[in-house]
Amino acid sequence: MTTAARPTFDPARGYDSKAPSLQYSSRDLAAHTKLKYRQPGQLTQEELENIDLREELLKAEREHFDKKNGAFISTEDQHTEDRRRLLLEASALDKDDSDDDSEEDSESEEEEEDDDTAALIAELEKIKRERAEEKERQEMAKLEEEELQKQEVALTGNPILNKDFSVKRRWDDDVIFKNQARGVDDKPKKRFINDTLRSDFHRKFMNKYVK
């Protein structure tokens, strides 16, 4: 196995070195030459011997079941609970004092609310009735319009009954270059023309193969 890639400060040497002195890298020096011992509070042997594991286990179980059942309350939680209880009692006393004053106000407010509710119900009924009448009116107008359209189609659909009916002309009836081939004989008579460019054979050849 090659050692060319080994990051050493001192390269590999043979069996014996004749050099009078050597240089060592800090990475080659021995480190952690002293054994570390546990300090107090790090579970030393004496602390482990003095710990009552049974009592610790029973205490942890009690705390667990108390938290699970809701019976476990720490000291801070106890102070918070007492303060909350006192505040609730004070607010209950204030509420009892204000109940007598608020009973009369609540009765008058209930009467006003009943009147407002009755007025709102009447207004809603009026709006619903107006909307129903408007909808019925629109439907009647739509039916009348459809009936008029049907009558108009029945009268104008038959060309015999329609006095203004006229046959429609084609779009190309009045074009300039209409029927240009009219009067041209499909089979012209043979004739002799002393001109190769205007001869019938030349024209036929050009129309067939060049045009």
User: SS3 sequence, 43-106?
Assistant: CCHHHHHHCCHHHHHHHHHHHHHHHHHCCCCCHHHHHHHHHHHHHHHHHHHHHHHHHHHHHHHH
Global pTM value: 0.25
Q: Are 196 and 202 in contact (CB under 8 A)?
A: yes
Alpha-carbon distance of 95 to 88, in angstroms, equals 10
Residue 151, SS3?
helix
Neighbours of 158 (CB within 10 A): 9
Give me the count of residues in the chain: 211
Ranges of each domain in the chain: 50-156
Summarised one tens digit per residue, pLDDT across range 119-155 is 888 899 999 999 999 999 999 999 999 998 888 877 7
pLDDT at 146: 92
Summarised one tens digit per residue, pLDDT across range 5-42 is 766 655 666 555 555 566 777 888 888 899 988 888 88
